[in-house]
Amino acid sequence: MVTRVRTLAGRIQLRALLVVIITLALTVPAQTGDRYITLASTTSTEQSGLFAHIIPRFREATGIDVRVVAVGTGQAFSIGRRGDADALLVHDPAGEEAFVADGYGSERRDVMYNYFIIVGPRTDPADIAGVENAVDAMSRIAGTRSAFASRGDDSGTHRAELRLWGLADIQPSGSWYRELGSGMGPTLNTAAGMDAYAVADRASWASFRNRQNLVLLFEGDDVLLNKYASVPVSPRRHPHVRHELALRWHRWLLSDQGQQAIAEFRVDGQAVFFPGAD
């Protein structure tokens, strides 16, 4: 009798488990609703919490949801080129213009800006804390062969860093120059771990929590301007994209309401993006 009860209990358990698994399987969320767009954007905008701040406001105003895929700017262009996103919010003006010129984007508009910064170990072995401009700072890092952590991932920040080396007329190479091939956060983690300098965007830095000995050493040169632009993916190349919805997002970002939402965003009480609709 006892055995039979136990057997029965065992069978019920097994059946119940199977039912749970199959129910879970059947309820895997499928495509829900049509009122959303897919936005390919950068890690800096996502990880700072900007989207968590502005997307609910946009959704409230329009009923449209925005699904953010946060990747490096280079990968965002590739996602857009393949037609896997409806709009981009990225930071590489030259790349954006090429994207539009090639017919993948319908137009490019400045949305907001901030500045790149140079961070490094508190001891500042290259002594860049008081230099005149960013190009000098980069020259000193290279001159003293101080450890430098480069994104090396074809992101907007990586492209900006390469521009700075170009302006300083330096071709960085050697054991001090470490190409990581990873996002901003992992690069800062690594720079903190090996006391290296790095070029970062202000938003990622402000929301980064594992600084250890890393401090902000240089900021405030116009050459470090970091512009973010919105580019809807053109339906001419990819007829399936949700162009109408993407345009509403694009126009909302440029509207007073969108610009104000960006201006109000704070990380630890500090503004990290400034509205800059042209």
Partner 1 sequence: MVDGNPFAKALELILGLDQVLVGIVTLSLQVSLTAVLTAALLGLPIGAAVALYRFPGRALVVTVLNALMGLPPVVAGLAVYLLLSRAGPLGSWGLLFTPTAMVIAQTMLVFPIIAALSRQVVEDLWEEYREQLQSLGASRLRAIPTLLWDARFSLLTGVLAGFGRASAEVGAVLIVGGNIDGVTRVMTTAIALETSKGNLPLALGLGIVLLFLVAMVNATAFLIGEGAKRRLG
Q: Which helix (H) or strand (E) is 44 found in, with range?
A: helix 43-47
Q: Is 190 in the site for partner 1 (CB under 8 A)?
A: no
For residue 237, give Cα distances in angstroms to 27, 108, 149, 230.
34, 16, 38, 18
Please select the residue that binds partner 1; options are 169, 209, 220, 268, rule is CB under 8 A: 209
Judged by beta carbon, residue 84 or residue 136, the one nearer partner 1 is 84
- The DSSP code sequence of 132-195 is SSHHHHHHHHHHTT--EEE--S--HHHHHHHHHHHHTT----STTEEE--S-HHHHHHHHHHHT
Stretches 104-112, 145-153, 170-178, 207-215: which one binds partner 1 (CB under 8 A)?
Answer: 207-215
Judged by beta carbon, residue 212 or residue 270, the one nearer partner 1 is 212
Q: Is 51 in the site for partner 1 (CB under 8 A)?
A: yes
Q: Is 267 in the site for partner 1 (CB under 8 A)?
A: no
Size of the site for partner 1 (CB under 8 A): 45
Please select the residue that binds partner 1; options are 185, 195, 247, 266, rule is CB under 8 A: 185
Cβ of 86: how many Cβ atoms within 10 Å?
Answer: 27
Strands 36-41, 65-70: pairing kind: parallel
Interface ranges with partner 1 (CB under 8 A): 3, 6-7, 9-10, 13-14, 17, 21-22, 24-25, 27-31, 38, 43, 47, 51-52, 67-70, 81-84, 183-186, 188-189, 192, 207-212, 238, 240
